[in-house]
Structure 1
Amino acid sequence: MRELLLELEKAVQQQRPVCYTCLVETRGSTPQKPGAAMLIFSDGSQVGTLGGGCVEAEVKRRALRLIDAESPEIMTFQLDNDYGWDDGLICGGRMKVLVDPVKTEQDLQYYHSMLQLLESDRGCTEAIIIPPESAEDDNKPDRFLIDAESKLVATRGKQETPSRLFDHLKPIKNRPRPYVSQGIAYLTFHQTCQLVIVGCGHIGQKVAELASDVDFDIIAVDDRQEYCNAKRFPAAKQLIVGSFDTALSKLTVTPDTFVIIVTRGHNHDEEALGHLATTDARYIGMIGSKRKVKLIFEDLLRLGTPREALARVHAPLGFDIGSQTVPEIALSIVAELIAYRNLDALPEGYQRASLVDDIKTPNTAD
Structure 2
Amino acid sequence: MQTQDYAVLSAALQAVRAGQECWLATVVAVHGSSPRPPGSLALFLPPSSQVGSLSGGCVEEELLASLVQGEFSDGAPQVLQYGVSAEENARLGLPCGGHLTVFLQSLSSEKDLVWLEAIRNSLDARKVSQRLVDRLSGDTTVRQAPRYCELDFGESRLTQSFGPRQRMLLIGAGQLAASVAELALGLDYDVLVCDPRDDARAGWRGPALPLLSDMPDDAVRAHADDPESVVITLTHDPRIDDMALMEALESKAWYVGALGSVRTTEQRKERLSALGVPQNCIDRLHAPVGLDIGSKTPPEIAVSIIAQLIRLRRRGG
Distance in 1, Cα, partners of 2:164 & 2:303: 22
Alpha-carbon separation, structure 2, partners of 1:14 and 1:225: 46
State whether residues 295 and 301 of structure 2, in contact with CA within 8 Å, keep that contact through their aligned partners in structure 1: yes
2:181 to 186, 204, 208: 208
Q: Within 1, Cα distance between the matches of 2:72 and 2:203?
A: 45
In structure 2, the CA distance between the partners of 1:223 and 1:79, relative to structure 1 (3 Å rule), is same
Q: Partner residue of 1:197?
A: 170
Counterpart-to-counterpart distance in 2, 1:85 and 1:217: 36
Q: Does residue 155 of structure 2 align to residue 124 of structure 1? A: no
Shift of 1:185: 4.3
Could you say which residue in structure 2 is the equivalent of 1:310?
Answer: 282
The match for 2:212 is 240
1:199 CA displacement: 1.5
Q: Is the 8 A contact 1:77 1:95 kept in 2?
A: yes
Shift of 1:228: 2.2
Cα deviation 1:131-178 (Å, max 9, x = unaligned) = xxxxxxxx65554433224xxxxxxxxxxxxxxxxxxxxx31xxx443
Q: Does the 8 Å contact 1:128/1:185 carry over to 2?
A: yes
1:7 aligns with 2:11: yes
Structure 1 residue 326, shift from structure 2 partner: 1.0
CA distance in 1, matches of 2:271, 2:49: 63
Corresponding residue for residue 254 of structure 1 = 225
Match of 2:44 in 1: 40
Residue type of the partner of 1:297? Answer: K
Structure 1 distance, partners of 2:259, 2:234, is: 6
CA distance in 2, matches of 1:201, 1:4: 35
The AA in structure 2 aligned to 1:148 is: A
SS of equivalent to 1:35:
coil
Would the alpha carbon gap of residues 129 and 320 (structure 1) be closer, same or farther in structure 2, given more than 3 Å must change?
Answer: farther
2: distance between equivalents of 1:303 and 1:32? 47
Deviations 1:78-134 (A, max 9, x none): 43234234797753343222222333434433333333333333122334455xxxx
1:80–1:91 Cα contact (<8 Å) kept: no
Aligned to 1:283: 255
> The residue matched to 2:199 in structure 1 has which SS?
coil
- Residue 220 of structure 1: SS of its match in structure 2? strand
User: TM (normalized to structure 1)?
Assistant: 0.71
Asked whether the 8 Å contact 1:53–1:86 carries over to 2, the reply is: no
Q: 2:96 aligns with which of 91, 94, 108?
A: 91
Q: Aligned residue for 1:19?
A: 23
1:51 aligns with 2:24: no
> What's the CA shift string for 1:272-315, capped at 9, x where partnerless?
54555445543321111111212233344445544333222211
Match in the other structure for 1:147: 144
The farther-off stretch of 261-270 and 331-340 is 261-270
Unaligned runs of 5+ in 2: none
Displacement of 1:318 in angstroms is 0.7
The higher radius of gyration belongs to: 1
- TM-score when scaled to structure 2? 0.80
Alignment partner of 2:266: what SS?
helix
Q: Cα gap change, 1:18/1:325 in structure 2, threshold over 3 Å: closer, same or farther?
A: same
5+ long unaligned stretches in structure 1: 131-138, 150-170, 348-366
The answer to whether structure 1 residue 75 and structure 2 residue 47 are counterparts is no
Residue 191 of structure 1 aligns with an amino acid whose one-letter code is P
Q: Distance in 1 between matches of 2:300 and 2:83?
A: 41
Q: What is the SS of the residue equivalent to 1:76?
A: strand
SS in 1 for 2:285: coil
RMSD: 3.3
Q: How many residues in Structure 1 have an aligned counterpart in Structure 2?
A: 309
How has the CA–CA distance of structure 1 residues 11 and 92 changed in structure 2, closer, same or farther, with 3 Å as cutoff?
same
Secondary structure in 2 aligned to 1:53?
coil
1:224-281 CA-partner distances (Å, limit 9, x unpaired): 22322596454534x3326xxx542564152434221111445544455455544554
| Structure 1 partner of 2:299 | 327
Contact 2:132 2:142 in 1 (8 A): yes
